[in-house]
Structure 1
Amino acid sequence: MSSKSSYTFCTQVCSVIRWKPAREAAWKELLAHLEDHAAALQEQGVPADEAITQAVEAMGDPYEIGHQLDHCHSPLVPRLSRIFILLAAAVLVLGLVIGFRNDTGIFALTGLLPHAADLPYGGDGTVEISGAASGGGKLAGYTLTPSGQAGLVLVSWESPEGVIDSEYQLQCPVTIHKQPWCPPIKAYQANAAWTDDTGASGLAYFSTYYEDALLGSTAWLRIVEPTPGSRKFTVTLSSTEEAVTIYVTLQEEVPAA
Structure 2
Amino acid sequence: MKWVVLFLFGGLGLASLTAGLVWGAKRAALFRTGLIAQGRVVAMHQGEVVDDEESPRPSYYPMVEFRTPDGRSFQFKGSTGSSSPEFTIGAEVEVRYNPQKPQQAQLAKFSHFWLGPLLLTIGGLLALFLASGVFYIFGDIEGGKSPAGRSIRARMLEASGKAVRIEGRITGVRERGRGRYVFICRGARPGSDREEDFESEEFGVKPEGELIGRSVIILINPDKKDEYSVELGPLLKEVVENQSR
What TM-score do you get using the length of structure 2 for normalisation?
0.20
- Larger Cα-atom Rg: 2
